[in-house]
Structure 1
Amino acid sequence: MNTQSDDTSVNLDEARKFGRVSEDGHVFVIVEGEEYAVGQLPNASEDEALAYFARKFDNVDAQVSLLEARVANGAPAADLQKSVEQLGAQVANRNMVGDYASLQSRLVAITEQIATLAENEKQQQSQAREQAIAAREKIVAEAETIAAQDPEKTHWKNSHARMNQLFDEWKATQREHHLPKTIEDELWKRYRAARTTFDKHRKAHFSSLDEANAKAKRVKEALIAEAEALSSSTDWGVTAGKYRDLMDKWKAAPRGSRREDDALWARFRAAQDVFFDARSAANAEIDKEFEANLAVKEQLLEEARAILPVTNVKEAKAKLEPILDRWDAAGKVPRNQVRRVEGELKKIQDAISNAENAKWSKSNPEKKARANSMLTQLEDSIAGLEADLAKAQSSGNERAIAKAQEALDARRQWLETLKASSADLNA
């Protein structure tokens, strides 16, 4: 048997420190001064026999070195313990040649290190378990808080999304750390109860919401039907009043979902638009016919303004009377001009009426004094309005200028009328 190449891998000098070969070929190992027979290698030289059993020792020594490296790298203590026990059993057999004392000392050190690793792992596992329990307790507590919300005040979209997130977090904690079954079951029972309660409240809420939406839709569908039935009416005044009533009913009707309400409102509004667009078109035709009447009344206003200021009440009333007759005969004016032209005429009528009242009061000293006081007040008011007009002109604000000018002209006209009345009083 060729063992030359194998022999070169073994340090025989080192091996002879811990073993020997007898004349009959038996190999012994020396451990703490005592010899132990380790075996025999037939048909081999002393060196070959010693090298064979020394190589077995070197293999175990290499495994111990590997185990030391695993310990240093923090491998799982349970795996390390199994390996050290297997190596300890091999060393106990005394069937190799080598430094048993050193090897056993290393195994003892490894065993102590494994014990330390195991204790650290136990602490880490305990800490991890507590953290896992705390994490799941937090999930459960939040789920219970969400489930305990007042259904009338719950933001269902956000709460539902958060409940789903909590479930994902629960599954993640399960993957990261398994808890004892009793703890796991108790926490899961609480979480499941909270989720069930939340789902029950959510279903009840949306069921009620669906019912309310259906009721709102029925009410508004009926209002739409009425609005559509009226849309072709040409009884403008009566029908406009009916549409106002329908609008009040619409505002008082229950609200549904926003999308549904928007669609219903569009239909209701469309029916109104048909009627009011037709009414606007009809009024526009009528107003067009009344444009000529407006021109007549504008001319009559110019004639009436020429009566002012009132210096002779009887003469002013006589001049105004035929103007009023022609005014009535002129007929209607466009709707958007009615208030303006009637207001202008009333100003003239009021000026004549005020002058007449002042004349009636000429024999009353108290009213005479009051008239003089009014003259003073009007003069002060005109001074203030002249200042307002100057300020508006300096600012270039056309609207302010027109407003100030109109107010100033009215006061000046009234002042002239009052002066004329005062002259009559003093006569």
Structure 2
Amino acid sequence: MSGENQEVTRFGRIDSDGTVFVKTAAGERVIGSWQAGSPEEGLAHFARRFDDLVTEVDLVAARLNAGNADPQHTAATIKKLQASLTDAHAIGDLDGLAARLEELAERAAVKADEAKEAKSAARADAVARKEALAAEAETLAENSTQWKAAGDRLKAIADEWKTVHGADRKTDQALWRRFAAARDAFTRRRGAHFASLDSERKVIAVRKEELIAEAEKLAGSTDWAETADRLKRLMSEWKDAGRVAPDAEQKLWKRFRAAQDRFFSARSEVFSARDAEQKENLTKKRELLATAEAIDVDADPRAAQQAYREIQAQWEEIGHVPRDAAGGLMRRLRAVDDKIRAALDVAWRRTPIAENPLLMQMREQVAEAEERLERAKNDGDAKRIRKAEDALNSKRQVLQLAEKAQ
């Protein structure tokens, strides 16, 4: 028998009928039955169960040695393991493992006491720190006349307060009420002090802050015309509001003027870019208009109409031109359109009388659809343009079919 098996048999055995016993200081107790193999295999099986228990105890010991585990949780785990040894289905030195768990339980108890003491000390330290902060706030509230510095310090105290943890809830709430009361008292006293200063300058400063806030809000606007008018009115209101102390006036004016400059600089850049683009568009439309006016309408009115439609499509793609030139360009373009329509009308009137009247009606409907499309394009209504284009295409298809059948 190997040394390992001899070690196992020190703490357990399997009798001839397969009953498994574990040996402890209290005597033998039955822990199961083994029928799946040889007694040696059975002993090894139950020894592995014991090894699993040892592993669990090792983990508890490691956590306890590391010092970062919750002592109370560790103690509860130890107690659970101790209870499991009573009826553990494992073969090994259960008495030794129990003794080890007892030692770990004592250490966990010591750790728990230390943690409790540390928590108590931390609580006392937190209470002391918040006591000091509350007392400092009360001193500032009663005596300080350094309004800005004291106000900033009270804000810093409030921020520091949030970083102090560990005080019991009841004490913490009572101390917070002291601090809050001191802060409120300081705010009232500071308000009373400033209320006694020159009320007119205060009103002026408040008004100018409002004007600055509105100017800064408008600085990023792209509603150029309306915003420019409002900023000009703000300038008049600024002058009418009066003046505060020279240093404060200069600072306020600098902020107010910066907001106005930001808007007008942005507007100037946009207008410059737009003007350059519109000048380029004007050149393109003049060239396109020259092409339209050169169309030979009399030679072939329908070909002229098709060429005009292509020019119209390019015209719309080019975009806006300077306002003072737009009207003249459109009048000249409409004159070309009117000339083509007149030529088409003459051509239709020259159609032999014997021509199918239904075919003539279809052509009139196509012409009407073309006019509706033109009006929609002139108005710039995208929805009407799409609807008019669909209607025109439909009527043209019907006319083409009818002409082929003629």
TM-score, scaled relative to structure 1: 0.46
Q: TM-score, normalised by structure 2?
A: 0.49
